[in-house]
Amino acid sequence: MHRNQVIDAFRGIAVLLVMLSHLPVETTGIPFVGNLFFYLIRGGWIGVDLFFVLSGYLVSGLLFIEYKKYNKIDPKRFLIRRGFKIYPSFWVLIIATFVLHYFKTPGFWAKEKIGFLGEILFVQNYVGYVWGHTWSLAVEEHFYLLLTFLFFILAKKEIIKLNTIAGIYLILLVVATFFRVKYSIEANTYSLVKQHYYSHIRMDALFAGVFLSYCNHFNKEVIARFLKYKAYLIPCALGVISLNFIYARDTNWWVPVVMLSLNPIAFGFIMVYLLESRGLKNMKSNFLSYIGKYSYSIYLWHMPVNSLLYATIFPFVFRKLQIPMNFPFYIICYLFSALIVGIVMSKIIEYPFLKLRDKVAPSVSLKKEIALNTSKTGNITVAK
């Protein structure tokens, strides 16, 4: 299946930003490049915002394609396909974590029970978690359910239209902004969970991608109008994104309020511009797009790799050598190891299950390909 290299490059950028944001703060003390890592750690969290816009764009695009072809959608097949994409790799991570805790920490279940149950049920962003980065998977899981329900109803009533999609996005934006302001006012101290993790304050980011996807499939005129003003809008978008690296989200109350609303819009502008760029439409695979191809598994495993290196392996090695921790060396080892582990896990778990998914619940495009192939051999001509 042909992959969009621009989309994969965006995925690569997103996962690298998140990986850099989880570097130990000690890396900011590295001579010459310490300031660079200081700002990357401060603002790298916006990689998740980019992931959300991409997810909304790509996942809704699958439903739009199905709707255009059949004038309806199949919620069951859609959710099965999402399950094959998300669950196997995630469950391997959670099972591996459970086994490690079981043998390493006697009686851990009493302390970690809520976290594990939260992870398994995909409500970790509300009730507690084992790994601090999996909250975004819960947001996306809730998005898939909401999107499926909405599209099923809208398709039934035949009101999948620009005004409907734009209206839903604006409602979610207003609701999310209201709660972001509310939590910011109520918080005596900065709360990462309340001000970033809850699904109801992040849905607007995913639906920004849905709106862009609708325009791409049904209303190219909206994109064309935007591109007329690209000379002004793109610098504004880049300026918005840069603010996240300048101002810390935990010491500036307005960052979790304003930037969470503006980041998806800014990323959306840039994404549409680059996707429509003639020079990039036939872009070949490169480092970023290669990383993006395996970004889901890299995202899953980068925190366990980071934790293992930082808390166990490196302290042990440097204690044995009787020298201080070498953080430039740590950065290289962490990034390289996380990428390698993520790519390997993707190849042995994620992609085999994706192949199985295409047999169990083929996509609309794959069903069309099956129909064409069977017609050539004189068999059934319509795949249902």
Q: Is 188's pLDDT higher than 90?
A: no
Q: Identify which has the larger pLDDT, 103 or 56.
A: 56
pLDDT score, position 121: 96
Q: How confident is the model at residue 380 (pLDDT cuts 50, 70, 90)?
A: very low
Q: How confident is the model at residue 384 (pLDDT cuts 50, 70, 90)?
A: very low
Token couple for 104: 């390493």
Among 34-38, 202-206, 268-272, the minimum mean pLDDT is found in 34-38
Residues near 156 by beta carbon (within 8 Å), at least 6 away in sequence: 72
Angle at 301 between CA 297 and CA 304, to 5 degrees: 170
Task: List, for residues 81-108, the tens digit of each pLDDT value.
Answer: 999 999 999 999 999 999 988 877 777 7
Q: Is 365's pLDDT higher than 90?
A: no
Token couple for 220: 């190219």
What number is the average pLDDT over the span 108-132? Answer: 92
Task: List, for residues 334-356, the tens digit of each pLDDT value.
Answer: 999 999 999 999 999 999 999 99
pLDDT score, position 368: 56
Burial of 103 (C-beta count, 10 Å sphere; 0-12/13-18/19+): exposed
- Radius of gyration of the chain from its Cα atoms, rounded to whole angstroms: 22
Q: How confident is the model at residue 321 (pLDDT cuts 50, 70, 90)?
A: confident
Burial of 5 (C-beta count, 10 Å sphere; 0-12/13-18/19+): buried
Tokens 């990383």 sit on residue = 291
**Side chain identity, residue 222:** V
What's the CA gap between 125 and 194, in Å, rounded? 9
pLDDT score, position 370: 46
pLDDT score, position 101: 84
Tokens 């862009």 sit on residue = 212
Residues near 311 by beta carbon (within 8 Å), at least 6 away in sequence: none
C-beta separation of 129 from 139 below 8 A? no
Q: How confident is the model at residue 379 (pLDDT cuts 50, 70, 90)?
A: very low
Q: Give the helix/strand (H/E) hosting 127.
A: helix 124-127
pLDDT score, position 110: 80
Q: Is 25's pLDDT higher than 70?
A: yes
pLDDT score, position 278: 79
Q: Max Cα separation, the chain?
A: 73
Task: List, for residues 193-223, the tens digit of each pLDDT value.
Answer: 999 999 999 999 999 999 999 999 999 999 9
Q: Is the dihedral of CA 45, 49, 52, 53 positive or negative?
A: negative
Task: List, for residues 220-257, the tens digit of each pLDDT value.
Answer: 999 999 999 999 999 999 999 999 999 999 999 999 99
Task: List, for residues 153-163, the tens digit of each pLDDT value.
Answer: 999 999 999 99
**What pTM value is reported for the model?**
0.92
Q: Is 28's pLDDT higher than 90?
A: no
